[in-house]
Amino acid sequence: MNNKKKAKIIIRILNKIYPKVPIPLSYKNTFTLLVSVLLSAQCTDVNVNNVTKNIYPKYNKPKHFVKLGRKKIERLIKRIGIFRVKAKSIFYLSKTLVEKYNGRVPNTYVELEQLPGVGHKTASVVMSQGFGFPAFPVDTHIHRLAQRWGLTNGKNVEQTEKDLKKNFPKKYWNKLHLQIIWYGREYCKARDCYGISCKICKSCYPNRKKPIITKKA
């Protein structure tokens, strides 16, 4: 079965399970989306949401975080992994947004990826969920599943993103990357399916018997 056929099967199954797909991270505006995505590195979305639900009602603009300063930001997010590094990034990206962009989040990859602590994956999520731009952010769930489903050779997330964009029509990207994340958490789990038991794995590889070992990003 070629990748285009697998892509059609995957879209059909995911649309049936997730006709309306929830956003994993809670946020108030594009800026707080950016902050939440930055916080989610090496941390669960649930933990991020639990921390930010007490922050965003009061602090939700770049100027708020500039005024807070690094130490106060650290105290607010101390329950999140590598909080000192993330607090530093949040402070300096907020400062940059205030000084360079009049407090607004830029809507281009080039400008976003120049902000402190913002890499390509974070920029892709903001472009997709914040601005509605067709994007295919690849996290660890998507990277793992793309390998299991035979859509990429799994060398790195950059290659996985290119391969997925090549196999799926652009009009599906924004919804599809969220659908795959939820599916990976609920059905094709890292330590459960192993490429042989979930509906998509069985549909794409009906004769597969041995577990698939995936390469980490």
Q: Catalytic positions, please?
A: 121, 139
User: Residue 77 has what DSSP assignment?
Assistant: T
CB atoms within 10 A of CB 19: 9
- In the three-class reduction of DSSP (H, G, I as helix; E, B as strand; rest coil), residue 192 is classed as coil
CB 143 within 8 A of CB 217: yes
Closest by CA position to 67, among listed 88, 48, 85, 94: 94
Amino acid type, 39: L
DSSP string over 88-140: HHHHHHHHHHHHHHTTPPP-SHHHHTTSTT--HHHHHHIIIIIT--------H
